[in-house]
Amino acid sequence: MSTDFPELNPPARILLGPGPSNVHPRVYRAMMAPVIGYLDPQFLQLLDDTQSPLRAVFRTENDLTIPISGTGTLGMEAAVYNVVEPGDTVVVCVNGFFGTRIADMAGRCGAKVVSVKAEWGSVIEPEPVEAALRANPGTKVVCIVHAETSTGILQPLEEIARIAHEHGALLLVDAVTSLTGCELRADEWGLDVVYSATQKCLSAPPGMAPVTFSPQAADVINARRVPCASFYVDVTMLRAYYGEARRYHHTPPMTMLYALREALRIAVEEGLEPRILRHRRHAEALWAGAEAIGLTLHVARPEHRAPPITTVRVPDGIDEMIVRQGLLAEHNIEIGAGFGELQGKVWRIGLMGYASTAQNVLALLHALETQLSRQGFRLDKGAGVAAASRLLNTA
């Protein structure tokens, strides 16, 4: 075995892909705090310190609002596995990769899965959801993605929540990409189960998954016929861990709790409305700049575009991988490729949390112009930056 084991020295990239986003410097500093034990009184205070601001960013009064120790996928499992049992009927809205994954998880729980599908780049309309519920009386849960990371769609939720409740079903929502970057009102909109992740608009490293369960969802969990299929995400035990009982469940990733605590402090200090407006403003500047270059946005209607994640169609004759490689090698900027049905067809550009800045928008547009022109794409040099600047200067 070689003894030449160099010091870790990863590059400091500008992360403008679908996630993770750049970590806020204050979050990095918080993560350098000493690790303490899970029986330490300061740890118990740390648990309390995360739950109150989590309720604030979810805009909920739900008592059962906690961070799960794991990535966004584990948050998805926590949401699905706790409310779905063998034999349940579950309606899953699928208009992208992560709706497909929810359907997979519900099937693994032994549910009958009814998929309501739309094209990758279109919203799920309320009418087919209602039709699916009428055709499947007794449906327990309707599942939907708020901001679909694979397509850039921002899904309207209020009408679908109303329809789900009229048919006696819970509404389960993926808010991994939307939390603190898009308008999200769990209580006002009637969202029963919502999960997210730390590495998107919260600008912390991946590793924690905030979740919230309404009282109605908690009643469903309490009435389960069989235990949750996953010990690790069983919230009947996790709520005793985070609640007054403080009953041991697992050893937490202490530094990630520090990171989440500081990320939530930053979000609350900025204010949710200003933070959401910031994401919208910078996204609109990117959209204006991309269209001025001559690029086409995959989501046609601006009101259906998720500000934290924009999908841009790859022009005919352009090698999308060479563009991404050039952005990384020459400009230190990472953007994402398409995947699933959109593989090779789009770029995915993230403006999330700490990375949602005017500087990043202008730098990316300049870099895109440079890389596209090298492949013979005809454009007016500087048009993208100029269009974005005009919008930023008037917004």
pLDDT tens-digit map of 289-305: 999 999 999 999 999 99
Same structural domain for residues 242 and 285? no
Same structural domain for residues 193 and 211? yes
CA–CA distance, 24 with 202 (Å, rounded to integer): 9
pLDDT (0 to 100) of residue 82: 98
178-236 pLDDT tens trace: 999 999 999 999 999 999 999 999 999 999 999 999 999 999 999 999 999 999 999 99
* Residue 259: CATH number of its domain: 3.40.640.10
Q: Could you tell me if residue 341 is inside a domain?
A: yes
Based on C-alpha coordinates, what's the Rg of the chain? Answer: 22
Q: Could you tell me if residue 187 is inside a domain?
A: yes
pLDDT (0 to 100) of residue 242: 82
Same structural domain for residues 30 and 136? yes
* Phi, then psi, of 343 in degrees rounded to 5: -60, 130
Instruction: Give this prediction's pTM.
Output: 0.96
pLDDT (0 to 100) of residue 197: 98
247-289 pLDDT tens trace: 888 888 999 999 999 999 999 999 999 999 999 999 999 999 9
Query: Among residues 269, 287, 310, which one ends one of the domains?
Result: 269
Tell me the pLDDT band of 2, cut-offs 50, 70 and 90: low
* Residue 378: CATH number of its domain: 3.90.1150.10
310 vs 249, which has greater pLDDT?
310
Q: What is the mean pLDDT of the chain?
A: 96
The label of the residue with tokens 């986003």 reads 21
Does residue 1 have a pLDDT over 70? no
Same structural domain for residues 182 and 304? no
Tell me the pLDDT band of 143, cut-offs 50, 70 and 90: very high
Query: What is the percent of the chain with per-residue pLDDT over 70, rounded to a whole number?
Result: 99
Same structural domain for residues 239 and 281? no
Structure tokens at 387: 């269009």
**Considering its fold, how many domains does the chain have in total?**
2
Average pLDDT in the 99-107 region?
98
CA–CA distance, 142 with 316 (Å, rounded to integer): 38
> Which residues, listed in sequence order, are joined to residue 309 by a DSSP beta bridge?
350
pLDDT (0 to 100) of residue 177: 98
Q: Could you tell me if residue 9 is inside a domain?
A: no
Does residue 395 have a pLDDT over 80? no
Angle at 283 between CA 278 and CA 287, to 5 degrees: 155
115 vs 48, which has greater pLDDT?
115
Same structural domain for residues 265 and 276? no
- Provide the domain limits for residue 87: 25-269
Structure tokens at 67: 């961070």
Same structural domain for residues 279 and 152? no
Query: Among residues 235, 269, 303, which one ends one of the domains?
Result: 269
